[in-house]
Amino acid sequence: MQNLKSNIDHYMELKGIRMYSHLLVDIAHELGIKGQEAYKFANREKSNFSKMLKGERPLKYEFIIPLEKIFGISLARLLYEDAYKLPVEKENVPFNKGFRYYAYLDDPELYKNEFDLLLTKDGKSILTQTDEFGKTFLDYIVEYRSINGVKYLHDVYGIKLKWYHNQFEFKKDKGMIWIHFENCIEFARLVASMNDVELFNDIYDSYNMFFTNGHYAAESCIFCQGEYLEIILDNDDLFHSIFEIKPYELKLDSIGKREKQVDSITYHSINPIINNCLRYALKHLDKYKHRAIDILKFGINYNKKVASNICYDNHYVCNELGALKNFKDDDFYELIIFTDVETNDSEIQALIHQLPKFNKLR
């Protein structure tokens, strides 16, 4: 910690902060502690802070962002041996701040004017990098609930969940990068809390899974996880959005382009997550019976409309997502509502009995 002490002393001098107690008051202010309570905080923490500078105690995690904000540099730089010798030049300010600094402030102007300049020495995007705590920018987006950061990543980088690996994809200009993110459920909760259904469904794109793969691939896939399905079932706006018929453009790969002689196909479909929501609701009727009833009632009328436009002998349900295909050409025709979950609830049984059924792939 000797490096930290030398560097803090140096930056205190640059900022005109004369005493550690004054620095602790500034830290208290950054933590939202005001008035006399800030001075009580400084007096209470003075001994621990002194021991931290001597290397006798670790740096408190909650001090990191306040120190970075006060000095305008990252903790990594504060810990760097020769950092105190390096001038803080105005044009280098974005490179002197850790990316958690931006998530903490969550300022749209800073994202626009500075964050995009943050590159590692090898020129790779900062979005794929981790800091000295092994955390990514997405981790700090979740930790600080940085809703402007979510909007920035969506609008500028086109963030999307790549469902088959639970990774996130970013596209900017002509480039594309991926990042594995263990915290994707908490990120989904944050995005859902923004009350922007279109944004949520664009980032967590279950249509892509449906039209490219046709199945969930593995139980570890987020679209199979109860925690994710509960986010949809617990949110009225998200839940009602799964019934909407929306156009979805599927861009074809080279093989598909040759076969279809087109670059893309536009499908019109309800949200493919709907049958998994039904499956989960039926298994948890104590909490989600009302949602199961809503889906089944919708399915009764919806399936009737689909059935009226097909020949039963030529169509079959080909996977657990409810994809209905034409047996003769194997092309996707429609998504229908179906369930194979057994229940003893008489009201639910009656609705399932009314649900028009289709042939299944054998």
Give the residue-averaged pLDDT of 188-213.
90
Spatial neighbors of 298 by CB under 8 A, at least 6 apart, are: 243, 337
Question: Rounded distance, CA 40 to CA 23, Å?
Answer: 13
39-to-19, 32, 268, 311 alpha-carbon distances in Å: 13, 13, 62, 79
Give the residue-averaged pLDDT of 161-190.
79
Query: What pLDDT sits at residue 72?
Result: 75
Q: What are the pLDDT digits (tens) for 19-62?
A: 999 999 999 998 889 999 999 999 999 988 988 888 888 778 78
Q: Comparing C-alpha atoms, which of 111, 110, 159, 162 is closest to residue 138?
A: 159
CA 33 to chain CA mean position, Å: 31
333, pLDDT greater than 70: no
Expressed in percent and rounded to 5, the helix, strand and coil fractions of the chain are 55, 10, 35
Q: What are the pLDDT digits (tens) for 70-114?
A: 887 777 667 664 544 444 444 444 444 567 778 888 889 988 887
* Residue 214: how many other CB atoms lie within 10 Å: 16
* Residue 42: how many other CB atoms lie within 10 Å: 21
| Residue 214 tokens, joined | 């046709």
158-to-72, 104, 202 alpha-carbon distances in Å: 29, 21, 9
Beta bridge partners of 360: 317
6 against 26, higher pLDDT: 26
Give the residue-averaged pLDDT of 274-301.
96
pLDDT band at 155 (very low <50, low <70, confident <90, very high): very high
Give the residue-averaged pLDDT of 262-284.
91
